[in-house]
Amino acid sequence: MGFSVTVLGSNSALPTSERNPTAQVLEASGRFFLIDCGEGTQMQLRRNRVHFGRINHIFISHLHGDHVFGLPGLISTFGLLGRTKDLHIYAISDLEKLLTPLIDYFNRDLPFKVVYHPFIAERDELIYQDNLLEIKTIPLKHRVPTVGFLFREKCKLRKINKQACDFYDVPVKWLHRIKEGEDFVSENGTVIENMKLTLNPPPSVSYAFCTDTRVHDGLIRAVEGVDMLYHEATFLKDQTELAVRTFHSTAEQAARVANEANVGKLLLGHFSSRYRDLTPFLDEARDIFPNSFLAREGDSFDV
């Protein structure tokens, strides 16, 4: 079970002939999460062979068209394919008001339920959790209410140290309890501490998706130490003033966030359509944070 991100769209508001508006699929321990859904996302899912039936949760960062205009088509297609499973959408509450009339008109007999999970963009919130994973919002600073999403595996159970268990004659029926953290108590009452019978758990992986935003301190704190950070880089540093004015970031600023937050790797995206060649983004970021990469349509990254 991996933890990887596939880029479906890397461009900012004006799509180009080669770059789509924002969308990503995160595969986390066998679950598939769609993050943002710009126009053309359903075609991009097909091109990248993501099975539609595996998409059950969609996370929408903010209500600008280039992050949501793929939803009506995707929902219609799910309906035409006979989906019956609930589809969960996480966004600010306005989305439901905007989508409902469209779904009612264009998909009169939608065979599944769209379940909205509204959140308040101005504060961080735990918006999803299951036995393996939790997802929190990160308030961002954009022209409209906008959040990032922090995907984090829960602390995993410690691993059984098979050699130690053999040494202390631990019966098999105890292994589950030891994995859960209990000390072992033998039939004659001897107590063996859990730490002696187990190994450290595998590390919990985390991924932060942050677009669209100006740089701000709260963001840096929120993504501290994540394994991978997707940070928007709409412009190059020679357009810093424009970035600030439009509540976006430059590649340099994204790299500084990655550096200050001490993340594992940085993925840059949301490129302005004014740029055809993206290598200057990579150069600018790597000067500050060497482990930087470009989000490009169809590329997958292990987190």
- Where do contacts with a copy of itself occur on this chain (CB under 8 A)? 13-17, 20-21, 39-40, 42-43, 46-47, 63-66, 69-70, 72-73, 76-77, 80-81, 94, 98, 101-102, 105-107
- The three-class DSSP label of residue 298 is coil
Q: Which is nearer to a copy of itself, 73 or 118 (CB)?
A: 73
CB 174, min distance to a copy of itself, A: 52
Decide: residue 135, CB within 10 A, 0-12 exposed, 13-18 middle, 19+ buried: buried
Q: Which is nearer to a copy of itself, 67 or 214 (CB)?
A: 67
Q: Which is nearer to a copy of itself, 118 or 264 (CB)?
A: 118
User: Is 142 annotated as contributing to ligand binding?
Assistant: yes
Give kind and range of the element (H or E) at residue 76.
helix 71-80
Report the DSSP beta bridge partners of residue 7. Answer: 24
User: Is 64 annotated as contributing to ligand binding?
Assistant: yes
CB 133, min distance to a copy of itself, A: 29
Active site residue 66: yes
Q: What angle do CA 34, 38, 43 make, to 5 degrees?
A: 80
Q: In what order do the strands lie in the sheet with 133-139?
A: 126-129, 133-139, 147-153, 206-210, 228-232, 265-269, 292-294
DSSP 112-149: S-EEEEE--TTS--EEEE-SSEEEEEEE--SSS-BEEE
Q: Which is nearer to a copy of itself, 6 or 107 (CB)?
A: 107
Give kind and range of the element (H or E) at residue 162.
helix 162-167
The secondary structure of residue 3, as a DSSP letter, is E
CB 15, min distance to a copy of itself, A: 5
Q: Which is nearer to a copy of itself, 98 or 115 (CB)?
A: 98
Token pair 């066998």 in the structure block, residue: 30
CB 78, min distance to a copy of itself, A: 10
User: Is 231 annotated as contributing to ligand binding?
Assistant: no
Sequence-distant (6+) residues with CB within 8 A of 67 are 21, 22, 36, 37, 38, 60, 61
Residue 132: closest CA among 149, 157, 150, 115: 157
CB 150, min distance to a copy of itself, A: 26
* Catalytic site residue from 36, 66, 183, 299: 66
Residues with a known catalytic role: 66
| Numbered residues of the known binding site | 62, 64, 66-67, 142, 212, 270
| Numbered residues of the known binding site for Zn(2+) | 62, 64, 66-67, 142, 212, 270
